[in-house]
Structure 1
Amino acid sequence: MSDPFLLTPGPLTTSATVKQAMLRDWGSRDGAFIAMNARVRERLAGLAGAGETHVAVPLQGSGTFAVEAMIGTLVPRSGKLLVLVNGAYGHRMARMAAVMGRAVAILEVPEDRPVDPAALDRALAADTALSHVAVVHCETTSGILNPVAEVAGIVAAHGRALLIDSMSAFGALPVDARTVPFTALAASSNKCLEGVPGMGFVIVRRDALAAAGGNAHSLSLDLHDQARGFEANAQWRFTPPTHVLAAFSQALDEHAAEGGVEGRGARYAGNCRILVEGMRTLGFQTLLPDALQAPIIVTFRMPRDPAFAFQAFYDRLRERGFVIYPGKLTVADSFRIGCIGRLGLAEMRAALDAVRATLAEMGVSSGAP
């Protein structure tokens, strides 16, 4: 069987040319590899409109490694982090801060609602000990898009530092440091930029990074030390993910050729529209209204038809060449289908055909919850 299409939040379906970029071995001290690393770092900062004020610091590991490095390096031991929570990834950031011994508070809303800027404003006014705020750009627990620009304005007005987990948004949904002030933003190679897993990165203000020496709770997750290594000799402190970086460099070329953030975001929006319209014709109901839905991953409520069993649905779709994702909600029984990766309208229509055929095979008359 050929590789299935991954309708998941990542890892994702990648292009043949991204895969082919991994067929060469690279020496970590080789001049060509060092130059490629420098180009990738420069391009990442540029994608965030941050080339003048921020620096991109790549890090071995998944995106979670990058988020933990961001919190551990930038929130000092005397600081206090406020995490805006409306899903599992906000809770994960709060847990990270607690594990590393940082003071942390959470401001939580249900998973099907965006974070609340007005409540944030009140919280920052009430607690002057809060030094940093963390928010998830697109919370893939539900697929909801959080109002990051509004959050950034409030945090800046209070003179605090903003940390953004943009893991599932960066590269497809705009975030520009010139209009959305942030101290740091974390993302990874294998989401909307359509590389392969194995490398995270943090785009961080130069002044904040310079002031962060000695903060980190971990040697390997110390962004300040990692950045100093790049500045000293343009090399990684520890063994770099050479093949992952080569694939990522190719993925960035393809991202630019597609029209950058605007072009990539437009394709994903088209995928999302086709998916939602098609699933609704089969009776399925989305968790979120269209106004709150990011074009990244869509949460559907489970059908009430007694013939529907998610594991059988999942397995039969996999046999037809499409991998979806289980739900992660507490507010509703659900499953998720992603819109990102090297997929277009033809693949989304084929996925809908597979859903239709699977429901018929299972004897499910409607996807209605």
Structure 2
Amino acid sequence: MREPILLTPGPLTTSLATKAAMLVDWGSWDAKFNTLTASVCADLLRIANLGDGYVCVPLQGSGTFAVEAAIGSMVPKDREILVLVNGAYGQRMAKIATVMGRKVSVLAVSDGTPVSAAAVAEALAANPAISHVGMIHCETATGLLNPVAEVAAVVQAAGRALILDSMSAFGALPVDGLPVDAVISSANKCLEGVPGMGFVLVKQAALVQGQSPSLSLDLCDQFEYMQKTGQWRFTPPTHVVAAFRVALDQYWAEGGQLARLARYQANGDALLAGMKKLGLQSFLPADLQAPIIYTFLAPNHPEYDFQRFYQAVRARGFLLYPGKLTEVETFRVGCIGAIDQAEIQQAIAVIAEVLAELGWAD
């Protein structure tokens, strides 16, 4: 029996080659492993294509660790960060900044509503204490694609710095040439690695020694130590880095960002069409949807229960994601990972079977 297919935003289904890469043990200070780390960082900068002056700082842990490291290391203690919130991950960024002891302003709109570049411009004009703006690229709570280019232009025009959480988008959605100070992501999303390593692609000039309130999450210290020694400051996730190297090799073999986006978009189109036939409605309109994860309104049935639904679908080989909205019952289906339209069509057939079995089909 095959492993379950993860229709989630990460961790996600990985290829056999990526899994197999973790069967080899590595010395954390060994020159061969240092070379491996350097090659991964070089590829991440190549994918981003942000221009000169950017460096890659890898970090142990989940993507949230990298977000916390970026905010703590980049936002001065006597300045303020404006966090743009239209979902759970914007809320998390604001909470991180608060816990890190930074002054925080929040520009919030409802779930499923794009951030307004005009509203950002107005907020920046009204508060000169704001030095940085924090933004989510793809708000995974709904699948919403935020207007990153428009907001980035406004932030640049106001002379402020943009920190972009591109966790669920980087590698599939382009960031080429955006006027940002930092782009944050992790191995286990659109680059199809495994969990355990985040990274920040950041302007080297934005790294200031002694700014971070954390030892382990100090981007500047991590970068400078790696430059001097080629090594991670603390025990690196060796097997994760090795798997990431193989995942990146497959990324280039597939055709890079454009090919990865095309596959995910085809997956998403097939998913929407299939779910529509089952009477399941997408939460977002098509023009706001990123081809990463899709939120669907739950079946309109008084006995609907996500856990029953989840377990029945899981028993047939697919893992869904619970909804993250408070005002309406939803569930989420991801279309990223080492899957294509064949797996999406199989999942739709399974969902149809489960809905009929439970008596929830329209």
Q: Same fold by TM-score, threshold 0.5 exceeded?
A: yes
Q: 1:304 Cα deviation (Å)?
A: 1.3
Is the 1:84–1:133 Cα contact (8 Å) retained in structure 2? Answer: yes
Give 1:208's aligned amino acid.
A
Instruction: Identify the residue that residue 41 of structure 2 maps to in structure 1.
Output: 41
Task: Name the structure 1 match of 2:2.
Answer: 2
| Residue in 1 that maps onto 2:167 | 167
**Residues 1-31 of structure 1: per-residue CA shift (max 9 Å, x gap):** 4310000111000000000000000001111
Aligned match for 2:329, one of 330, 333, 338: 333
The residue that corresponds to 1:135 in the other structure is 135
Structure 2 runs not aligned, ≥5 long: none
- 1:322 is aligned to 318
Identity of aligned residues (%): 57
Find the aligned partners of 1:330 and 1:87 in 2 and give their Cα distance. 11
Task: Report the secondary structure of 1:37's partner residue.
Answer: helix
Distance 1:36 1:198 in 2: 16
SS at match of 1:131: strand
Structure 1 unaligned spans of 5+: none
Root-mean-square deviation (Å): 0.9
Work out whether residues 307 and 362 of structure 1, in 8 Å CA contact, stay in contact via their aligned partners in 2.
Answer: no
Contact 2:352 2:361 in 1 (8 A): no
Equivalent residues in 2 for 1:27-106 (5 A)? 27-50=27-50, 52-106=52-106
Aligned partners of 1:110 and 1:331 also within 8 Å: no
More deviation, 28-37/45-54: 45-54
Q: Within 2, Cα distance between the matches of 1:365 and 1:222? A: 52
Corresponding letter in the other structure for 1:175: V
Q: Distance in 2 between matches of 1:91 and 1:259?
A: 35
Cα distance in 1 for residues equivalent to 2:346 and 2:361: 20
Question: Number of paired residues?
Answer: 362
Contact 1:185 1:204 in 2 (8 A): yes
Q: Tell whether the 8 Å contact from 1:111 to 1:331 is kept in structure 2 after alignment.
A: no
Is the 2:299–2:361 contact (alpha carbons within 8 Å) kept by the matching residues of 1? no
Separation (CA, whole Å) in 2 of partners of 1:223 and 1:206: 10
CA–CA separation in structure 1 for the residues paired with 2:260 and 2:286? 19
Instruction: Tell me which amino acid in the other structure corresponds to 2:180.
Output: F
1:346 aligned to which of 329, 342, 345: 342
Alignment of 1:158 onto 2:158: yes
What is the aligned partner in structure 2 of residue 197 from structure 1? 195
Cα deviations by residue, 1:302-340 (Å, 9 ceiling, x for unpaired): 111234322111101000000000000124211100010
Secondary structure of 1:113's match? coil
Opposite residue 38 of structure 1, the aligned amino acid is A
Q: Which residue of 2 aligns with 1:110?
A: 110
Distance 2:89 2:361 in 1: 35
The Cα shift of 1:346 comes to 0.3
The CA distance in 1 between the partners of 2:308 and 2:319, in whole Å, is 12
Aligned residue identity for 2:269:
R
Structure-1 separation of matches of 2:210 and 2:361 = 61
Q: Using the TM superposition, give the Cα deviation of residue 116 of structure 1 relative to its aligned residue in structure 2, in angstroms.
A: 1.1
Distance across 2 between alignment mates of 1:51 and 1:150: 19
Q: What is the alpha-carbon distance in structure 1 between the residues aligned to residue 245 and residue 39 of structure 2?
A: 8
Cα distance in 2 between the residues matched to 1:114 and 1:165: 15
**Which structure 2 residues correspond to residues 272-351 of structure 1 after superposition, within 5 A?**
272-351=268-347
Q: Aligned-pair distance for 1:295?
A: 0.3
**What is the Cα deviation at residue 32 of structure 1?**
1.2
CA deviation profile, 1:252-280 (whole Å, cap 9, x unmatched): 00011111111101100000000011001
Q: Can you list the C-alpha shifts for 1:197-248, whole angstroms capped at 9, x where unaligned?
A: 0000000001112xx1111010000000000011101110001100000000
Whole-Å Cα distance in 2 between the matches of residues 331 and 204 of structure 1? Answer: 37
Give the TM-score normalised by the residue count of structure 1: 0.97
Once residues 340 and 96 of structure 1 are traced to their aligned partners in structure 2, the CA distance between those partners, rounded to angstroms, is 27
- Could you tell me how far apart the structure 2 residues matched to 1:151 and 1:257 are? 33
Q: Secondary structure of the equivalent of 2:52? A: coil
1:269 to 265, 277, 289: 265
Match of 1:184 among 170, 182, 185: 182
Determine which of 205, 208, 211 is the counterpart of 2:206.
208
Query: What amino acid is the match of 2:291?
Result: P
- After superposition, what is the alpha-carbon deviation per residue over 1:279-318, rounded to whole angstroms, capped at 9, x for unaligned? 0111011110000000000000111123432211110100
- Matched residues in 2 for 1:307 and 1:225: separation? 54
Distance 2:172 2:309 in 1: 29
Aligned to 2:224: 228
Tell me which amino acid in the other structure corresponds to 2:48: A
Q: What is the CA distance between 1:51 and its match in structure 2? A: 5.4
